Amino acid sequence: MSLKRVEVIVPLDYKKILQNFAEEHEGVIEHYITPAMEDQRNCHYFLLAKTGRQQFLDDLQTRLEKSPTARIIVFDAESTIPKPKSPEQEQTQQSSLAITRENLYEQVSQGADLTATFLLLIFLSSIVAGIGLLENNVAVVIAAMVIAPLLGPNLAFSLGVALGDQQLMIKALRTNLLGIGFTIFLAVVAGALIELDLNSKELLLRTDVGLDGMALALASGVAAVLSLTAGLSSTLVGVMVAVALMPPAVTAGLMLGNGHIDLALGATVLLLVNVVSVNLSAQVVFLVKGIKPRTWLEQRAARQSVTINLAIWTFLLLILFITLFYEFHKQ
């Protein structure tokens, strides 16, 4: 069972309020209070199960809004002895989100940061992917997939849409565009300096757009968000997303730099298909999972953001799908 320990530092006059608050929420396993500190505050500790965890934190923030000195700190509690819940109760809790909105935001929003580390990962992944594609070496291509630098900004943008966080959306979009642009630039330079082997199967695979690639990207976006909301490691999901994004970006640059415009266009279309598919599927899962802001005003803004973005991504995906379907039957 995944437990959370919530530490709440508040003025002394909040003691009775938080005692009643703990009794109201079924997800509270334990609640205890420390003696008063010198600054006339004390600390309340809550041990939370999965049930109602997000609602607990939302209600707690509402109760403490008028206290400028209040502080909420959330910790992971890997286990407790003895076990606080029976197996039947624990099984019931598995349907709840294993991660709170605040934890999810902390994890995903970091992927929107345009840092030197991000650019270095783009550089390294581009080199590794390029070598794997040119040498027709699947193992080396997989090595580039493991780095998965483009996973972060795509998921951060989708989360920003779900929360109506325009600042996160703009930051993630900028990082994503610069990351993709930097990847293509590096590949163009490499493509202009070397002669490409057009017999490389791994390279040519990324110039051919198919409906199977669209299905892969859709599945990747769904799996990425499901792994995050379930509190699982996103490493393997990052590999899946890298399959859909990094190789075609590198291929587009290599072909463009080497003068193969038609093949570069095919790789670019594949990249667009995958970017649209990943973002659309990720936003749908965030919506289905109920990831939304806390306050009513923020939720209204988020609904507008989600509606607009879902309409845009769906329209783009439909256009790309019709184009691919037409090209498939044309052949």
3-state secondary structure 131-145: HHHHCCCHHHHHHHH
Give the bridge partners for 73, in sequence order. Answer: 7
CA distance 173 to 112: 8
The answer to whether residues 192 and 254 belong to one domain is yes
**What is the rounded average pLDDT of the residues 292-312?**
88
pLDDT of 116 reads 94
Judgement on whether residues 79 and 158 belong to the same structural domain of the protein: no
Q: What is the CATH number of the domain that holds 63?
A: 3.30.70.120
Residue 126 sits in the same domain as residue 252: yes
Q: Are residues 244 and 322 in the same domain?
A: yes
Task: Work out the pLDDT band at 94, boundaries 50, 70, 90.
Answer: very low
Q: Do 49 and 7 meet the contact criterion of CB atoms below 8 Å apart?
A: no
Round the average pLDDT of the chain to a whole number and report it. 85
How far is Cα 280 from Cα 157, in angstroms, rounded to an integer?
A: 11
User: Same domain for 69 and 154?
Assistant: no
Residues 115-130 have pLDDT tens digits of: 999 999 999 999 998 9
For residue 7, name the pLDDT band (cuts at 50, 70, 90): very high
Evaluate if residue 163 carries a pLDDT over 60: yes
Which of 61, 96, 131 delimits the end of a domain?
Answer: 96
- Do 76 and 220 lie in a common domain? no
* Residue 327: per-residue pLDDT: 67
Among the candidates 67, 96, 125, a domain finishes at: 96
Q: Which of 36-50, 74-88, 234-248, 250-264 has the highest mean pLDDT?
A: 250-264
Among the three residues 96, 129, 159, which one is the final residue of a domain in this structure? 96
Is the domain of 166 the same as that of 307? yes
| Structural domain harbouring 254 | 102-330
Task: Say yes or no to pLDDT of 238 above 70.
Answer: no
Residue 274: pLDDT band (50, 70, 90) is: confident
Residues 175 and 276 in one domain: yes
Do the beta carbons of residue 157 and residue 171 sit within 8 Å? Answer: no
Q: Are residues 207 and 261 in the same domain?
A: yes
Is 216 in the same domain as 326? yes
180 shares a domain with 106? yes
Q: What is the pTM of this model?
A: 0.79
Which phi and psi angles does 47 have, rounded to 5°? -105, 120
User: Which are the contacts of 185, defined by CB distance < 8 A and separation ≥ 6?
Assistant: 253
The count of domains in the chain is 2
Sheet of 71-77: strand order equals 28-33, 41-48, 3-11, 71-77
What percent of the chain has a predicted confidence (pLDDT) above 70? Answer: 89
Do 160 and 48 share a structural domain? Answer: no
